[in-house]
Structures are given as structure tokens and as C-alpha cells.
Amino acid sequence: MPASKRDQLLATAEQLFHEQGFHATGIDRIVAAAGVVRMTLYNHFASKEALVAAVLGARHERFIASLDAAVASASPGQATLALVDAHGDWLERFSQHGCIMAKAMGEFAEHSPSLHALAATAKIDLLGRLEAALVRDGLDHHAGLARRLFLVLEGSNTAVALLESQTALADTRTVVDTLLARARSETQ
């Protein structure tokens, strides 16, 4: 079944925003790449800002769904590692140019508080998922552990764009394994 024009516009805009940046990608470039006319875009999105918000929201929903599915199917005591591995899989498949939420936070900090807040909320959501995974694994009593894991994952967002992704993700997993092993040893 062919994608709807709205879905086509979202997919095209997401790809262009991710590769070229939000401000560098104009409406004319998006409609040309999507193979639609400008009016079609404005029939679905009131403005470029509305399109950006829809792209960020849809991408975040897909990302969180992938994390939640991994955690839900994790073996006992492995929820945090399942989340970390799902994050790595996402980066390898969809974020070769770095994190689109971090880009949005950078580009919209001065220009659009609402878009900046949307991207920041996505980051807070990831931190919340880490906290929940640690609870599930019985490691929630380690102060700051979720925050440290979050920092490692955020670092991997940048590292995959700079280093070979396999190296960045292997190093991320090594650091996470070390943090979790330390937390588990302190529990015993």
C-alpha cells in the first residue's frame, strides 16, 4: 500500500532534516524531494515548524517503541542491557548523522522554545526509560546510575557519526557493562 502524502512528507522531511539540518532544509527542497506541490505540504502542516514538530514526534515514538519492545522481551535482570542494545541498534540503523533530537535542541534553542522543549522532553524520556529498566533489574538504589548510563548513551549518539559505528557501539557497551558490573558488585 503506498504511503499517504502526509507520511511521504514526514519521511522525506525527516531524512533531509537529519542529513542537512533543520534550518538548511527549506520547504521547496522538501516538496521537491517528496514529489508533491507546496500546497500539499501546507494541507497537512500549517507551517515548517509544525512539520518539524511532527517529524520529531513521529521519530521519537518509533525510537521509544523500539526501546520498550526490547525491555519488554528482556530476560530477568537484563532490561538495562536490552535497552542499551536497542539504543545501539537504532543508532546503527537510523542515526548515522548523529542524534536528530540533539540537532533540534541546538538549532531551535534560540529560535523556537517549543521545538527545543519537544526535543529536550525526548531526552528526558530516554532518561526515564533507563531509570525504569534499572528498577526492573533491581539496581535503582544506585544513586546517579541512570544519569551516568544516559551520559554514555548520549556520547554514543555523537560517536557513531565520528567513529566507525561498530567501534563506537562496542565501546559504549563496554562502558555500560563496567558501570552495571560495579553497581551489581556494590549490591552484594
C-alpha cell of residue 75: 530476560
Dihedral angle computed from the Cα positions of residues 39, 45, 51 and 57, in that order, rounded to the nearest 10 degrees? -150
In this structure, which long-range contacts are made by residues 164-168, counting pairs with CB atoms below 8 Å and at least 24 apart in sequence? 165/91, 165/92, 165/96, 168/91
Give the residue among 145, 155, 154, 156 at the shortest CA–CA distance from 185.
145
pLDDT in tens, 30-72: 999 999 999 999 999 999 999 999 999 999 999 999 999 999 9
Judged on CB neighbours under 10 Å (0-12, 13-18, 19+), 46 is exposed
For the beta carbon of residue 105, count every other beta carbon within 10 angstroms: 18
Kindly report the pTM of this predicted structure: 0.91
Biggest CA–CA distance in the chain, Å, is 63
Q: What is the pLDDT of residues 133-150, one digit of tens each?
A: 999 999 988 889 999 999
Residues 93-103 have a mean pLDDT of: 87
Query: Cα separation of 123 and 157, whole Å?
Result: 12
